[in-house]
């Protein structure tokens, strides 16, 4: 398969303070060069025999292919980021930016700061949509292969010297200002509208417990930090507790095999949170049992290890675990 050249998206003669000569050189030599390199590498990879080619040779070709492919994609995005007046940010993208950054001004300051930090070096500054979280984020990348996994860049600023020295010499700051004056926000918004169509990665589903309410470790931590009354029960199985060394701060251990023995000690006046090792079964089953008995019980998703992963406080597992 050969990659096709994309026509130049922006109209160079309409740009304000960026010369057609610079765009032409950039498009022809750097974008065109990346695409040619990508096609050469693709041909080389297709032609080799993976059974006889040393792995390090394949690995090097694949690394170069990644760099060339990302360079191609980012250059296409860069040229498609230019051609507007930079200031008129349409409603939908403006409110999405405000939602993720506080305000368009704040976004602009951060984006320019990242660009200035790269000036004198080289790399990219990108505004990227992350479907997982439905949010926009700025990132800088000092080479062509560092963009956010699963993210969809919708605006790109090229800070390789070839992108500006013809017009601006070493004055990267002037180039950054010119770029900001030429952002084509309508096109950015169209890319944003397309990006938000991408579904986030599927979330973990507990199919056996479809209606059982859960609570995240972050929510439990916020309740504890706020001093809210909550009854937290570690229901890791007894056999597991023999090798457990720590336990969530604020939790008590209760044997999930003998709920009837300890349910009488719970209050219906405060929510109950149960959890097990990873949050799959036992914490869920216990929460279900407690709900049937009339408690406001939820299981903590991710269990003990999710709590540890957010650096939630832990204590020594008690040596006596008799409930």
Which residues of this protein are in contact with Fe ion, per CB under 5 A? 30, 158, 160, 163
Q: How far is the CB of 253 from Fe ion (least distance, A)?
A: 59
β partners of residue 251: 232
What is the Cα Rg of the chain in Å?
27
Q: How far is the CB of 151 from Fe ion (least distance, A)?
A: 20
188-206 CB burial, b ≥16 within 10 A, e <16: bbbbbeebeeeeeeeeeee
Q: CA torsion angle for 104, 110, 111, 115 (degrees, to 10)?
A: 160
β partners of residue 232: 251, 273
CB of 159 or CB of 215, closer to Fe ion: 159
CB of 34 or CB of 188, closer to Fe ion: 34
Q: How far is the CB of 161 from Fe ion (least distance, A)?
A: 9
Q: How far is the CB of 71 from Fe ion (least distance, A)?
A: 7
CB of 72 or CB of 274, closer to Fe ion: 72
Strands 246-248 and 314-316: antiparallel
98-114 CB burial, b ≥16 within 10 A, e <16: bebbeebeebbebbbeb
Reduce the DSSP state of residue 322 to 3 states and report it. Answer: coil
Q: How far is the CB of 158 from Fe ion (least distance, A)?
A: 4
CB of 122 or CB of 206, closer to Fe ion: 122
Sign of CA dihedral 26, 28, 29, 30: positive
CB of 78 or CB of 253, closer to Fe ion: 78
CB of 143 or CB of 261, closer to Fe ion: 143
Q: How far is the CB of 75 from Fe ion (least distance, A)?
A: 6
Sign of CA dihedral 183, 185, 191, 196: positive
């Amino acid at each position: 398969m050969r990659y096709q050249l994309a026509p130049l998206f922006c109209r160079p003669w309409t740009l304000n303070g960026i010369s057609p000569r610079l765009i032409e050189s950039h498009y022809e030599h750097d974008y065109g060069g990346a695409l040619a390199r990508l096609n050469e590498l693709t041909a080389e990879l297709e032609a080799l025999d993976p059974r006889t080619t040393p792995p390090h040779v394949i690995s090097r070709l694949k690394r170069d292919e990644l760099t060339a492919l990302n360079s191609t994609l980012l250059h296409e995005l860069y040229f498609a980021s230019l051609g507007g007046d930079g200031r008129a940010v349409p409603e939908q993208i403006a409110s999405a930016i405000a939602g993720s950054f506080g305000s368009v001004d704040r976004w602009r300051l951060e984006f320019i700061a990242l660009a200035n930090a790269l000036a004198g070096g080289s790399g990219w500054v990108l505004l990227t949509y992350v479907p997982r979280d439905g949010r926009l984020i700025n990132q800088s990348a000092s080479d062509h292969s560092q963009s956010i996994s699963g993210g969809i860049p919708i605006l790109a600023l090229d800070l390789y010297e070839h992108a500006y020295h013809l017009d601006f010499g070493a004055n990267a700051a002037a180039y950054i200002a010119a770029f900001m004056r030429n952002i084509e926000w309508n096109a950015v918004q169209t890319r944003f509208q397309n990006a938000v169509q991408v579904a986030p990665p599927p979330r973990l589903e507990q199919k056996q417990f479809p209606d059982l309410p859960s609570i995240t470790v972050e929510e439990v931590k916020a309740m504890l930090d706020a001093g809210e009354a909550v009854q937290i029960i570690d229901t890791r199985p007894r056999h597991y507790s023999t090798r457990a060394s720590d336990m969530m701060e604020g939790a008590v251990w209760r044997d999930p095999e003998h709920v009837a023995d300890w349910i009488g000690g719970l209050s219906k006046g405060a929510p109950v949170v149960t959890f097990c090792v990873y949050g799959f079964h036992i914490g869920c089953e216990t929460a279900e049992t407690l709900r049937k008995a009339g408690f406001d019980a939820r299981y903590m998703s991710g269990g003990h290890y999710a709590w540890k992963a957010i650096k939630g406080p832990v204590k020594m597992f008690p040596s006596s675990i008799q409930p």
